[in-house]
Amino acid sequence: MNKAIFLDRDGTIIKDFVYNNDIDKIQIMPGAIEFIKKFQKKFKIIVITNQSAVAKEICSIKKVKNFNKKLIKIFNSYGVKIDKIYFCPHCICGKANKYNVDCECRKPKIGLIKKAQKKYNINLQESYMIGDKLTDVQCGNNANCLKSYLLSDTFTFDDIAKDIII
């Protein structure tokens, strides 16, 4: 079985511009590259992200997918391997479309983690979740990850790296 580090996207590995998904605006968060590099050999690196902008019709599925592809490429260019990015396009806060549903994948629900677990044969009890929002931490806890971390200005990737058991 594999171990994973689950990472939130906006505000965690890249700067959060609300509902951006504009490729030109990608800015990698401080410490993210060094952090992932440290763990990418021992852990699957899986990004899970809520993109309710799709339900709100601010942004298309295609745009999110293209953005995620580009994001993986940019990280690759720094020698960083992101295995997969999963996103939830849903929200009951959205407009009247097929994405306006109470889904099982919007964090803090664990649908995206479950998807990854199945595809990559992940042992969640040896895996970690990192995000900048409480819903990220709740998601990791709901999925029975070993530990879930709330990233902030005072609790950085460096601090988290010291705590993770390889």
Active site positions, annotated = 8, 10
CA-CA distances (angstroms) from residue 145 to 37, 59, 141?
Answer: 21, 31, 6
Token digits of residue 12: 């965690």
Q: Residue 107, Cα to own-chain centre: how many angstroms? A: 10
Write out the binding residues for Zn ion, residues 76-95 only, by CB under 5 A: 88, 90
Nearer to Zn ion, 10 or 35 (CB): 10
The CB-of-89 to Zn ion minimum distance in angstroms stands at 6
The CB-of-140 to Zn ion minimum distance in angstroms stands at 17
The CB-of-41 to Zn ion minimum distance in angstroms stands at 31
Write out the binding residues for Zn ion, residues 96-155 only, by CB under 5 A: 103, 105-106
Size of interface with Zn ion, in residues (CB under 5 A): 5
Under rule CB under 5 A, residue 58 binds Zn ion = no
Amino acid in the structure at residue 77: S
CA-CA distances (angstroms) from residue 144 to 106, 112, 126, 138, 155?
Answer: 16, 14, 9, 10, 22
Amino acid in the structure at residue 59: C
Chain residues in the site for Zn ion (CB under 5 A): 88, 90, 103, 105-106
